[in-house]
Amino acid sequence: MGATRRILVTGSAGFIGHHLVLALQQYGHTVVGIDSLNSYYDPQLKYKRLEQQGFCIPSAAPETLIQSIKSPNLYFQQLDISDAAALEQLFASQEFDVVVNLAAQAGVRHSIDHPEEYVTSNLVGFANVLECSRRHQIKHLLFASSSSVYGLNKQTPFSTSHCTDAPISFYAATKKANEVMAHSYAHLYGIPTTGLRFFTVYGPWGRPDMAYYSFAKAIVAGTPIRIFNHGDMLRDFTYVDDVVESIVRLVDVRPEANPVPFKLYNIGNHKPEQLLSMVAILERLLQRKARLDLQSMQPGDVQTTYADVEELAKATGITPQTTLEEGLEQFVAWFREYHGVPALAVP
């Protein structure tokens, strides 16, 4: 690792953000996390993540920068990146070296019925992050993109050199827009900028709307699991610790101006798995059978994701390698504890 830095992580009460701030502060960086704490899913999960980081949010004054009781170099403030004035005030007071933008309205299916939320967070909010990064001469901006930008691309594995001009969900369209917006700022203002195309991230403290998490809850409750495309789905499941280690290493890998200081990376496991294989592993770990409700393909969804991670390996020296079984074992152990799910007695 390089020198310690002062790093802003947006979306720090989110799934990946939670794991990232803990990792960065362990490396000695001073980390300021911000999050809007919206109600897209149960905010109690976000509060619990923040408790793990050493913050007691209900007792803190809203919109006040507070210090973790567990780590002297970890801070949090409730702040929405779509609030340009508040974001500017934070940047002006903190003198960040690096920004990692993970704040976004997530979810392919949610974007079908609520596109306005994606405009506010993913477009307006990200434009505010870009402007603050420009005005305050950030040394490296990293931002979350998504494998969704590949749309109906049939060429596998997905490479960052492939065309991504035909997204099939509005969520994917906003992520593609983020890449184009960031490239223009890198070109115009010389901001070293790195885009991170995440592939189906999973693990402990995940989002309840994600497939693996919602499947686990349904299996335990004995309710049907909706499986789209009649189960013929391949996903490049990527364990959250592998994702976080990739980001931590990329913080020190600033793109060179060749001719623009901008670089995209796939953050994936490079090993697509059948969706039904994931269900089978969850059944075994939870000691319960799933009830399957096989349906046709959902609008905005794709059949296969598969990451080419050669560029990531060159830049960081690592390739995500956690197997789906290993990762789900970690998730289910956390899931049992968090939701109070007992193990069944072996007959």
Q: pLDDT digit string (tens) for 224-273?
A: 999 988 888 899 999 999 999 999 999 999 999 989 999 999 999 999 99
User: Please, what's the b/e burial string for 214-235 (b: 16 or more CB within 10 A of its CB; e: otherwise)?
Assistant: ebbebbbeeeebebbbeeebbb
> Is pLDDT above 90 for 343?
no
Q: How confident is the model at residue 1 (pLDDT cuts 50, 70, 90)?
A: low
> Is pLDDT above 90 for 300?
no
The CATH number of whichever domain residue 114 belongs to comes to 3.40.50.720
> Is pLDDT above 50 for 347?
no
Provide the CB-side half-sphere exposure for 54 (13 A, CA). 17
Residue 171 catalytic?
Answer: yes
Q: How confident is the model at residue 333 (pLDDT cuts 50, 70, 90)?
A: very high
pLDDT: is 108 or 61 the higher one?
A: 108
Does residue 262 belong to any structural domain of this protein? yes
Domain that holds residue 170: 6-202+237-270
Does residue 289 belong to any structural domain of this protein? no
Does residue 50 belong to any structural domain of this protein? yes
Does residue 249 belong to any structural domain of this protein? yes
- The whole-angstrom separation of Cα 329 and Cα 93 is 42
Residue 186: closest CA among 263, 261, 97, 99: 261
Mean pLDDT score across all residues of the chain: 93
Does residue 15 belong to any structural domain of this protein? yes
Q: Are 191 and 133 in contact (CB under 8 A)?
A: yes
Does residue 127 belong to any structural domain of this protein? yes
**Total structural domains within the chain:** 1
- Confidence at residue 329, expressed as pLDDT on a 0 to 100 scale: 98
Does residue 303 belong to any structural domain of this protein? no
- Confidence at residue 61, expressed as pLDDT on a 0 to 100 scale: 61
> Is pLDDT above 70 for 292?
yes
From the candidates 41, 118, 150, 171, give the one annotated as an active-site residue: 171
- The whole-angstrom separation of Cα 115 and Cα 195 is 22
Evaluated on CA atoms 95, 98, 103, 104, the torsion sign reads positive
- Confidence at residue 346, expressed as pLDDT on a 0 to 100 scale: 47
> Is pLDDT above 70 for 323?
yes
- Confidence at residue 309, expressed as pLDDT on a 0 to 100 scale: 97
The residues with which 35 forms a beta bridge, in sequence order, are: 78
Q: Are 232 and 296 in contact (CB under 8 A)?
A: no
Does residue 144 belong to any structural domain of this protein? yes
Whole-number CA gyration radius for the chain: 20
